[in-house]
Amino acid sequence: MLLTREKSQLLIVDVQDKLLDAMSGKGRLVQRCVRLVQAAKTLDIPITVSEQYPQGLGPTVESIRWALGNSASTLSKVEFSCARNEALRNRLDELRRQGRQQVVIGGIESHVCVMQTAIDLENSGFDAFVVADAVSSRSKTSKRLALSRLAKAGADIVDSEMVLFEWLGRAGTPEFKELQALIK
């Protein structure tokens, strides 16, 4: 199944100051999450951000917060799966009721919060799309195992370029020209 902008929502999971330092490939992870946020904003795709225990782990990293501006709903949690947090689940369900059953997911950690969220969403009738170049774990092995397990659980494993081109659908539009710089 292809992603469409009309059926999509973006979920950025726990890309927070105190968690980020331990991540493998943290610079690329943040860059790809920013890319997804900028594309979603340009294409009017709703964005939700989760923060795991922000009192202890800090807020979402500054570059992502800057890219978001006022374009996202940021909700805190202590559950590993966003789908097991009532406020986050209500937000995702409300967007699904609006026809947005495709959840594009970036964030950390691949093998904990991202994986549990995506599996719970798949089991609840959402279509989860985990963006491989926009997720990370402390170890590359944990990320690799998580992506393998997610694929077996029915989640689609994609990369950020796939997401952007599927959301765009065609070249030659004003949105394509605006987002082209994100791809170069």
Q: In the 3-class helix/strand/coil scheme, how is 95-112 assigned residue by residue?
A: HHHCCCCEEEEEEECHHH
Distances (CA, A) of 13 to 8, 57, 116, 171: 16, 13, 11, 30
Amino acid at 37: V
**DSSP character at residue 114:** I
76: nearest Cα among 44, 52, 110 = 52
What is the C-alpha separation between 164 and 38, in angstroms, rounded? 10
What is the C-alpha separation between 21 and 40, in angstroms, rounded? 26
* Active site members: 14, 77, 113
3-state helix, strand, coil in the chain (%, to 5): 50, 20, 30
